[in-house]
Chains A and B, each alone.
Chain A
Amino acid sequence: MRVTQGCFSFLPDLTDQQISAQVQYCLGKGWAVNIEFTDDPHPRNTFWEMWGLPMFDLRDAAGVMMELTECRKVYGDRYIRMSAFDSSHGWESVRLSFIVNRPAEEPGFRLERHEAEGRKIRYTTKSYAADRPEGVRYGDK
């Protein structure tokens, strides 16, 4: 099941050229672009690991793309996303985020029903991938 989080996630995967254009747009707006990765696809997992530091003061997308290539080399079997942070007063938050890399196979989620007191049911989403330990959830890496 294809994970849809952030911008563009209902579109086909972006090509590197398209990613580069999006990054350039962010840089043009003066936002700092960060690369983040995770292997826990749960929608509530908002804080992903950062690949290096946020990249402030960049002028051209080539620098970000260089880091993305590096990150893919190491974590190519996981989800990688770009987030663009706007540090200007009043915003000081992420303005845009989109997935740029996803595992070859996304096993999806199951719904768990927990029968609580009475006939009440509590629902939980669990990703199949998260059944395996962290770091080996996708592929053999």
Chain B
Amino acid sequence: MNAPVPSAGSPEREALPVETVDLRREFAEVGIGEVLDQLERELIGLKPVKTRIREIASLLLIERIRQRMNLMSGVPTLHMSFTGNPGTGKTTVALRIASILHKLGFVRRGQVVSVTRDELVGQYIGHTAPKTKEILKKAMGGVLFIDEAYYLHRPDNERDYGQEAIEILLQVMESQREDLVVILAGYGDRMDRFFASNPGFRSRIAHHIDFPDYSDDELQAIAERMLHDMNYKFSSGAREAFVRYIALRKTQPLFSNARSIRNALDRMRLRQANRLVADLDRVLTADDIMSLEASDVLASRVFGKADPA
């Protein structure tokens, strides 16, 4: 009270929120632009997901500035749920989210701990709590990614230990929001049922993101990208055959988007290697070793099944 004016003035100004913020500089400083661009570049398709992540990133950027202006109201809830069919990139996006959150300073370390039911739920009474807590401790300061989260809840068995894990999770999700971000992932319809039977989860999760299936063109682009990363390429015949392959494979059961594509490519590499080894007298060029031919694609079971039908 009696302190001289200048010294009373300066802490005052310190405590007083900053009035203006250079948004562009703030954006550059945080370095999320880079992560978002990378997301845009490296992930094919997934428009709604990318839009949503951009929105979340913008929200958090603004939240950060609000914090500095003393307009903050508690830690924002960042728990998310990713729903979508198999192979639509949920895990990949979770990794990116972690790095965005880390850059913005909403998680301190930015590691992703990816678990399924097995790692959270115990085998006998008293086994679950320590197990779940151990995982939670490892995930502190980062992101806990629970894949196929609906397996935690087994409605047919009321003595299932999954419920215990759920309760611990919920408690930590609520009380240690600033320490941990939980991302639940799984197939759409089952996640809906999971949330219906565990309303606590639904209300604690701020962002529900739905991952759409890939279109044929996107799958083709994904295949090309994967091959490029593995230093392979399609011959023009193989490319044309693969377009047909995708169309056929999609109609068959157990199609899991990018994962099916990856598996198909692995089998094609196998066939290509086999084809090359079959002719031992040939002198191979790098180009031969790199390219997948139409025959490698067409030998797939997918075509065999489709023809008689």
Residues of A at under 8 Å CB distance from B? 52-53, 55, 57-64, 66-67
State the CA gap A84–B35 with chains docked (Å): 35
Could you tell me the dominant secondary structure of chain B's interface residues? loop
Partner of A58, one of B108, B138, B176, B180: B138
State the CA gap A59–B98 with chains docked (Å): 14
Which residues, 135 to 191 on B, are CB-close (under 8 Å) to A? 136-138, 140-142, 172, 176, 179-180
Partner of B111, one of A55, A59, A64, A66: A59
Whether the Cβ atoms of B176 and A59 lie closer than 8 Å is no
Could you say which of B130, B136, B172, B179 has the most chain A C-beta atoms within 10 Å of its C-beta? B179
State the CA gap A57–B111 with chains docked (Å): 11
Q: Which residue of A lies closest to B179 (CB)?
A: A62
Contact partners of B180 in chain A: CB under 8 A: 62
Residues of B at under 8 Å CB distance from A? 108-109, 111, 130, 133-134, 136-138, 140-142, 172, 176, 179-180
State the CA gap A58–B111 with chains docked (Å): 10
Whether the Cβ atoms of A62 and B130 lie closer than 8 Å is no
Contact partners of A55 in chain B: CB under 8 A: 134, 137
Contact partners of B109 in chain A: CB under 8 A: 59-60
State the CA gap A60–B136 with chains docked (Å): 11
State the CA gap A55–B130 with chains docked (Å): 12
Whether the Cβ atoms of A62 and B141 lie closer than 8 Å is yes
Q: Which residue of A lies closest to B176 (CB)?
A: A62
| A60-B109, A64-B137, A66-B140 given; A52·B176 CB < 8 A | no
A33 CB to nearest chain B CB (Å): 10
State the CA gap A61–B72 with chains docked (Å): 24
Given contacts A59-B109, A60-B141, A63-B138, 19 further A-B contacts (CB under 8 A): A52-B130, A53-B130, A55-B137, A58-B138, A59-B140, A59-B141, A60-B108, A60-B179, A61-B141, A62-B141, A62-B176, A63-B136, A63-B141, A64-B137, A66-B136, A66-B137, A66-B140, A66-B172, A67-B137
B13 CB to nearest chain A CB (Å): 26
Q: Which residue of B lies closest to A56 (CB)?
A: B138
Contact partners of A64 in chain B: CB under 8 A: 137
Q: List 17 A-B contacts (CB under 8 A).
A: A53-B130, A53-B134, A59-B109, A59-B141, A59-B142, A60-B140, A62-B108, A62-B140, A62-B141, A62-B179, A62-B180, A63-B136, A63-B138, A63-B141, A66-B136, A66-B176, A67-B137
Whether the Cβ atoms of A58 and B130 lie closer than 8 Å is no
State the CA gap A53–B130 with chains docked (Å): 9
State the CA gap A84–B179 with chains docked (Å): 22
B173 CB to nearest chain A CB (Å): 13
Contact partners of A66 in chain B: CB under 8 A: 133, 136-137, 140, 172, 176
Contact partners of B134 in chain A: CB under 8 A: 53, 55
State the CA gap A60–B180 with chains docked (Å): 10
Could you say which of A52, A58, A60, A66 has the most chain B C-beta atoms within 10 Å of its C-beta? A60
Contact partners of A52 in chain B: CB under 8 A: 130
Contact partners of B176 in chain A: CB under 8 A: 62, 66
Q: Which residue of A lies closest to B130 (CB)?
A: A52
Top 3 A-B residue pairs of the complex, sorted by shortest distance between their CB atoms: A60-B141, A63-B137, A62-B179
Contact partners of A63 in chain B: CB under 8 A: 136-138, 140-141
Whether the Cβ atoms of A60 and B130 lie closer than 8 Å is no
Q: Which residue of A lies closest to B111 (CB)?
A: A59
Contact partners of B111 in chain A: CB under 8 A: 59
Contact partners of A59 in chain B: CB under 8 A: 109, 111, 138, 140-142
State the CA gap A2–B32 with chains docked (Å): 50
A35 CB to nearest chain B CB (Å): 11
Contact partners of A60 in chain B: CB under 8 A: 108-109, 140-142, 179
